[in-house]
């Protein structure tokens, strides 16, 4: 089966509706991911159905619960563009910022954006800890999303500084979340955030269970955070 047909079928199974333009953009992204991955380490997942399910569908399931058409989104540690690029394909009128410390991966995403004709996405190269202190990005986004970047206590310090008061941080996790939540109590208190929801979901055609942990930013963050680059991982809050 062709990638486009498989993607269309799987999104329908999840009650997600994609336009032809969206499907075409996913197809461009897919072809470029597979081709570039031959020379640059972008993903270990390369089989067509797995890319559709574990990268594309996993990235966009969040759109059933959050309407990103209103507001701005930052993806911290986007890597080869997940979940940022699939979400930007679904929400072409929303401002997206994709951040990563690996320049080669951002260069790949830049080429994807050009081929797809998408100009509502900005790429920034560097550490989340540094940009989280930069007035241009600090507490400026309605939503921060992040997948497969760090454990929750570390991730909260990397991500929540970007979120406006009243905004949300959404962490894509596997279904084994309880321990990480237990270990995040201190971080949540220091970072002025609280757990809002745990949203479990199933990836179709697999026995793959995932969960979105969503957090509310309750008030402004103290100047001390995030700490300098490397510190959140070395000594989590």
The answer to whether 174 and 210 have CB atoms below 8 angstroms apart is yes
Check binding of 51 to ligand SAM (CB under 6 A): no
CB of 83 to ligand SAM, least distance (A): 7
CB of 149 to ligand SAM, least distance (A): 4
Q: Please choose, from the candidates 194, 188, 195, the residue with its C-alpha nearest in 3D space to the C-alpha of residue 237.
A: 188
Check binding of 128 to ligand SAM (CB under 6 A): yes
Query: Distance between alpha carbon 80 and the CA centroid of its chain, in Å?
Result: 11
Q: Give the E-state strand segments of 26-101 in sequence order.
A: 73-76, 96-100
Which residue in 8, 25, 54, 105 binds ligand SAM (CB under 6 A)? 105
The answer to whether 228 and 203 have CB atoms below 8 angstroms apart is no
Which residue in 127, 133, 164, 227 binds ligand SAM (CB under 6 A)? 127
Structure token digits, residue 65: 């619960």
Burial of 86 (0-12, 13-18, 19+ CB in 10 A): buried
Check binding of 217 to ligand SAM (CB under 6 A): no
Binding mask 140-159 for ligand SAM (x = CB under 6 A): -------xxx--------x-
Burial of 24 (0-12, 13-18, 19+ CB in 10 A): middle
Check binding of 72 to ligand SAM (CB under 6 A): no
Which one, 3 or 87, has the nearer CB to ligand SAM? Answer: 87
Q: Return residues touching ligand SAM (CB under 6 A).
A: 77-80, 82, 99-102, 105, 127-129, 147-149, 158
């Amino acid at each position: 089966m062709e990638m486009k047909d498989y993607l269309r079928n799987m999104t329908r199974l999840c009650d997600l509706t994609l336009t032809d333009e969206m499907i075409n953009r996913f197809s461009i992204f897919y072809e470029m991911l597979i081709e570039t991955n031959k020379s640059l380490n972008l993903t270990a997942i390369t089989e067509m159905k797995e890319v559709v399910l574990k990268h594309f569908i996993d990235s966009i399931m969040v759109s059933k619960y959050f309407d990103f058409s209103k507001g701005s989104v930052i993806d911290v540690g986007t890597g080869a563009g997940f979940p940022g690029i699939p979400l930007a394909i679904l929400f072409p009128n929303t401002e997206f910022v994709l951040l990563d410390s690996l320049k080669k991966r951002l260069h790949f995403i830049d080429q994807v954006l050009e081929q797809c004709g998408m100009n509502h996405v900005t790429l920034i190269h560097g550490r989340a800890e540094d940009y989280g202190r930069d007035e241009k990005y600090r507490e400026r986004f309605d939503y921060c999303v992040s997948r497969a970047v760090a454990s929750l206590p570390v991730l909260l310090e990397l991500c929540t500084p970007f979120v406006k008061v009243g905004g949300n941080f959404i962490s894509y996790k596997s279904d084994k979340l309880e321990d990480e939540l237990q270990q995040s109590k201190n971080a949540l208190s220091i970072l002025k955030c609280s757990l809002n929801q745990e949203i479990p979901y199933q990836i179709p055609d697999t026995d793959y269970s995932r969960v979105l942990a969503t957090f509310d930013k309750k008030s402004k963050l103290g100047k001390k955070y995030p700490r300098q680059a490397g510190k959140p991982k070395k000594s989590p809050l």
